[in-house]
Structure 1
C-alpha cells in the first residue's frame, strides 16, 4: 500500500483545507531577489487549522503534520524538507543557497533588476507535499532585458536518492555526482557529457552521463522524480498544466539528472535557440504566472517494492491535473475555473490528392496561443498556450483558457504544414465557444510522385544506429528512444566511410537507408567537411514547361545550410538554399527534433529528364561535428495542370 495524502480536491467544490501563503505571511515576496534590510528580528508562531508557521530570524518553517518545509528569510530559498523521519531530503552538504530555489538566467541586455518576481510557496492541510508559483513582471519604465531560462531547482541528498524515473520506460539507478569529477570521468564533446571511467560503483564504468539524455517533450512532462529505498520515500515534481510553458506541446525540456537534481522547467531555449529567448524592450509591459507546480512526497506502508512509489506518483499527477486550475492561489493574476473559458470544434483536412472527401484530423494537435503567423507558437514565450489533441474524428475541446485574445492553431500528423484560423478568438469569463467545422488545406500543388519519411515533425522513423559501445547509456540499449545515446553523429562516417547517403526511390527503405541526421564528416586532419546526399528517381515522362514542387520539411537544424541542386551537383547558384539556419542544438542534445521548418521549392520541368534524375541535398557548413540537420519528410509533386504525364 502507498501512503498518499492528496491536498487538493475537485476544483468545482470548496476546498476543505487550510492555505498557507508563505511569501505573504513571512514577507517572502521577492523583487529582483534583493535582500530586505532594517526592521526588528522576529520569532512568531502562527497556526491555521493544523498548518503551523514559525517565523524566525533567518528562516520560516511550515509544518502540516505530514512534512516540514524550511525557507530562508528573506531570500525565499528552500533549505530543508523533513518527511518520514528524514530530517532533510535536500542535500545537507550543500550551502543553504544551493538546495531548493527559483533559478533565473538573465542575458547581458539589462540587469537583474529589470524584472519583478514574486515567489510563493503553499502548504495545504493534509497534503503530502507543497506547491510553488511565481509572478514575473516588467513595467513600462524599466529597461529592456532578455530572459533565456527560468526554473525551480531542487538538489536532493545523494546518500538517499539514487533511483530516477522520468517515464515508465525511462527510469534507472543513477551514478553519483562525484563520478563526474575530473579524476573519475573524461570530458566529451561538450561540458554536459562525461564518460565515467573510474566511478565509485563499478556498474557505471564505461557509461556516458549527460543530463540531456533525460529530456522530455512538454506533452509528456507531467511527473518525474526520485526514489529513496531506505526508508522508501519518493520525491516527485508534478506539473499539472502546460499553459505557462513556452513553445507548445513538442517543446523539449530538462527533467531530472545526476546530482540528484530535480527540475521544474518553465522557460528555456533548449532545442530551439535564440528564437525562444524571452526579450523585452523599454516601455513594454508584461506579467506572467509560472505554476503552480506540486512537489509531492510519498512513502510505502505495507508494500515492499519501492517502484510502487512511481505508480502512486502517476496517480497523484492525474489528481492534480483534474484539480487544474487550482482554486487556492490567492492572486488575482491566477484566474479560477469559472473565470476562464473553453473552445470546441472539429478539424478536418482537405487534400484532393489523397481523398475527394474531407479527412478527419485524427490526433491533431490543436491549441490557442497568442496571435501570430501560422506556426509562431513554436517560438512564442511571452504569453500562455492551451493545447489538446483531437479525437479520431477530429473533434477537440480546449478548456480552462485564460481570458484574452488568441489565434487557433493546429498541425495534423500525416500532413505537412501548420493550420491557423485567421479570426481572433477572444476568451471571456465563462464563455463556451463552438468553432464549428474547421478545414485545413495542407500545402499541395500536384499529385505525389514520391515521398520519403512520415510527416510527423520528427526524424524518428529514419535509421538511428547503435552507439559506439564505448559511449553507451545502458538505459537506451534496445530502447524505443535509442536516439538518446551519445555520439551518434560519429557513427555516420563509420556507416558511410566512402561516400554519403544515396537513396533510390522505389528501392531504398527510409527506415534503414536514410541516416537520421545529415551531419558533417571528420577528415584526417581533425577538421570537418560538409556532406551531399542524393535522391535518385526515375520519370517516364517530363512536363518540360511545367513546374514541379519539392516539399522539404526539416525536423531540426543547427548552424546548417541546405542547398538543393537538380541533376548537377556543381550548379552555382543552387536551385534553392535555406541560407544558414538554426541554433536548435538537437544533434548534441540527443533529440529527434527541434524547430519545424517547411520549404516549398519550385523545380522547373526543364531541369528534369526522362529516365533517372538526381536531387543533391548539400549541407556545406562544417566548423564542428555537431552541425547539421534532420529531415522530417520529403515529397516531389507533379505540376498542377498536367499530372497525367508524370509517372515514376
Structure 2
C-alpha cells in the first residue's frame, strides 16, 4: 500500500449515498466500530468489522448495518473480502450511488498495469496528472501529459475511463512492480452481486496506482442504476467475496508473466465459486442454491421458416420486472450465461428467491422475458425446455443500418487527434477509447451533416459512431441533423410501415420527428425509458423525420407534437469512451401516406445542444414494409 497516504487512504471499502431530497452524494469510507473473530484455526481465519446504525446517526451516516469480512487461507497468496449491507424496516429513506473496495498501491513500485491480454502498459505517475506536468482537458479525469516523469509518455492523454470494462470481462486486473517483481491483482469470480447485468461497464485500475472492485455504480447508466430505498423497505445483500491475489517472480523471469499467472488464478477462483469457506450465513453455498436450464430459439418468419437457434444469447435471472428491466436493476442479484450454438443454456449457483428469466440475442432486436416468475429453492434444478423468442417484426426488411448487438462499435470510429492520443489504443480493437473523438465529427462534416444513402453508403465508413453536437465557437454548440435517403419502387396504399430504432447510448439527448417546414420550439414531456414508442412516424422527401422524441403527421399547423419522449439518457458514454451505455428500442409506425414512390428522406435530429457530450449512439436501424408487401 502507498505509505505516503494516511492509513485509511491505502485500502478501504467506501460508499456514496444520498439522504432524501439531496442530489450531492456523501462519500464515506466505511470504518467498523466493532471487531470480531468469526473463526480461526491452522487453515483459515475470518474476521469481521461491523458498523451498526441507530437513530442517533440519522443524517450523519448511511442508514445501513455494514459487516465487512476478511478471510485468509493457509497456502493462499492473498486475502478475500466481502460485505453484508442491511437496511431494516422503518429506517430512513436514502439513495445509494456507489459502493466498492479500493486499493492504492505504492507509486514508487507499481508502474505496470494489466486489464487484459491486449490492455496493459506502463502507466503515468500520479504526479504527472498535476500542473505543470499535466494539463486538464474537457473534464477533470482527462489530462494531457505535458512533462511526465517518464518522457516516453509525453503528449499522451490519461483518463481513468479509458480503462473501463464490461462486467462480463472484468474478472482480473491489477498492477506489477518490476523491482521487486511483485503482482497485486483484484479477482472477481462472480458477477452475481454487481448491478446492471453483464454489459454494465465499470472502472477497473487506473493511475494512482489505484485498483477497484466495483459492486454498484451509475457509470455508463446514470441514476437508473442508483437504487432508492423508500418507505422503510427491508434490504439485505452480500457484495463479493472478491480475492486480492499477490504473486511474485523471484527466479528472474519476465515480471509480465505475473499477468499470466493471475489469469490462471482467476480461473481457479471461478471454478471454486461459491466459496465454501465464507462463513456468513447470508452467503449461500452450492447446496443452498439452485440451477435453471433450457434452450432458447428465435422465431422470425421473415428470416427463416424454421425456428433458429439463439446461438450466443445472453440468458439470465434478475429480480422480476418488465422485459429488459435487468439493465436498470440495482437491488438484487443477477445470474447470467451465454447460450451454446444450439441455444442451450445452464445457469448455475442461483441464490434462492424469486426471479424472471430474461434474454437477448445478438443479431436480433429487443428483449425476451419468460412470462412466469421462477422461485428458486435450495437444491432446485429446473429444466424449462424449449423457449421461443419472437423479436419485434411486422414486415419484411426494406433496409437496415448496423448490427443489432447493443453497441456502436461497427460504425465509423475516427482516428484520434494526434495531439490527444493514448498509444495503447492505436491499432487496437477498442479504438473508441481515445479521448476527444466527438470533436472529429465537425472536422469530417465542416459544412453539413451526415447523409447516408441506402445501397450506396457503408455504415462502417459512412455512419459516424455517435451523433454529437457541432461546436460553433468556444462555448457554443449547435444540434446536428442526419439524413437517411432511400428509394421505394412503390408504396403500398393504406398500409403501415415500421421504423425500428435501437440506441446503444443516450446522454441528455432528444431526437425529434417534425415537419421540415416547422421551425418554432415546442414543449416536451418526459417518458419513462422502458416505454416503447409506437403508432406514429410520418415522412416523405419533404417531411423531416427526427426520430424518437417528437412525432408529427405532416401538418405544419399542428400546435403540439402527436407524441414526444422528451429528454432521454444520462449514461455519458461519449465522454467516457464507452461504445455503449443503456439500450433503448423504439418501434415506430410510418403511415404509407407519408412515403412516396422514388426518393424518400428520413431526418434524424438530436435537438439538445448545450454540451459537446449530449448525443446518441445508434445500435441498429431498420425500415420494414407492411405485412405481406
Deviation digits for residues 82-123 of structure 1, max 9, x if unmatched? Answer: xxxxxxxx0000010100000101124255241111101111
- 1:440 pairs, out of 389, 395, 408, with 389
- 2:3 pairs, out of 92, 95, 98, with 92
After TM superposition, give the deviation of residue 372 of structure 1 in Å.
0.3
CA contact (8 A) 1:576 1:601 kept: no
Q: What is aligned with 1:637?
A: 624
Q: What is aligned with 1:511?
A: 460
Q: Distance in 1 between matches of 2:367 and 2:597?
A: 34
What aligned pairs does 1:115-264 form with structure 2 within 5 A after superposition?
Answer: 115-264=64-213
What aligned pairs does 1:371-390 form with structure 2 within 5 A after superposition?
Answer: 371-390=320-339
After TM superposition, give the deviation of residue 126 of structure 1 in Å.
1.1
Q: Distance in 2 between matches of 1:578 and 1:496?
A: 28
Q: Distance in 1 between matches of 2:121 and 2:473?
A: 38
Q: What is aligned with 2:524?
A: none
Q: What is aligned with 2:55?
A: none
What aligned pairs does 1:7-22 form with structure 2 within 5 A after superposition?
Answer: none
CA contact (8 A) 1:544 1:604 kept: no
Matched, 1:564 2:513: yes
Secondary structure in structure 2 of the residue aligned to 1:246: coil
Matched, 1:589 2:576: yes
CA contact (8 A) 1:563 1:576 kept: no
Q: Distance in 2 between matches of 1:600 and 1:550?
A: 6
Q: Could you tell which deviates more after superposition, 460-469 or 298-307? A: 298-307
Q: What is aligned with 2:16?
A: 105
Q: Could you tell which deviates more after superposition, 298-307 or 319-328? A: 298-307
After TM superposition, give the deviation of residue 329 of structure 1 in Å.
1.1
CA root-mean-square deviation: 1.2
Matched, 1:543 2:492: yes
What aligned pairs does 1:546-625 form with structure 2 within 5 A after superposition?
Answer: 546-565=495-514, 566=539, 567=541, 568-569=543-544, 577-625=564-612
Matched, 1:405 2:331: no
Q: Distance in 1 between matches of 2:142 and 2:191?
A: 28
After TM superposition, give the deviation of residue 555 of structure 1 in Å.
0.2
- 2:615 pairs, out of 615, 623, 628, with 628
Q: What is aligned with 2:519?
A: none
Q: Distance in 2 between matches of 1:143 and 1:485?
A: 43
Secondary structure in structure 2 of the residue aligned to 1:633: strand
Secondary structure in structure 1 of the residue aligned to 2:372: strand
Secondary structure in structure 2 of the residue aligned to 1:331: coil
Tell me the TM-score normalised to structure 1 length.
Answer: 0.84
Q: What is aligned with 1:285?
A: 234
After TM superposition, give the deviation of residue 524 of structure 1 in Å.
3.1
Matched, 1:527 2:476: yes
After TM superposition, give the deviation of residue 282 of structure 1 in Å.
3.3
Q: Distance in 2 between matches of 1:494 and 1:525?
A: 15
Deviation digits for residues 354-402 of structure 1, max 9, x if unmatched? Answer: 0000000000000000000001000111000000000000000000001
What aligned pairs does 1:52-67 form with structure 2 within 5 A after superposition?
Answer: none
Tell me the TM-score normalised to structure 2 length.
Answer: 0.87
After TM superposition, give the deviation of residue 331 of structure 1 in Å.
1.0
Secondary structure in structure 2 of the residue aligned to 1:471: coil
Q: Distance in 2 between matches of 1:544 and 1:175?
A: 64
Q: Distance in 2 between matches of 1:111 and 1:590?
A: 36
Q: Distance in 1 between matches of 2:568 and 2:350?
A: 34
Matched, 1:393 2:393: no
Change (3 A) 1:638 1:111: farther
Change (3 A) 1:638 1:575: farther
Change (3 A) 1:518 1:113: closer
Q: Distance in 2 between matches of 1:561 and 1:270?
A: 20
Deviation digits for residues 464-495 of structure 1, max 9, x if unmatched? Answer: 00010111000001110000000000000000
Q: Distance in 2 between matches of 1:577 and 1:478?
A: 41
CA contact (8 A) 1:564 1:615 kept: no
After TM superposition, give the deviation of residue 303 of structure 1 in Å.
5.0
Change (3 A) 1:525 1:172: closer
Deviation digits for residues 162-219 of structure 1, max 9, x if unmatched? Answer: 0000000000000000001121111111111111111112111111110000000010
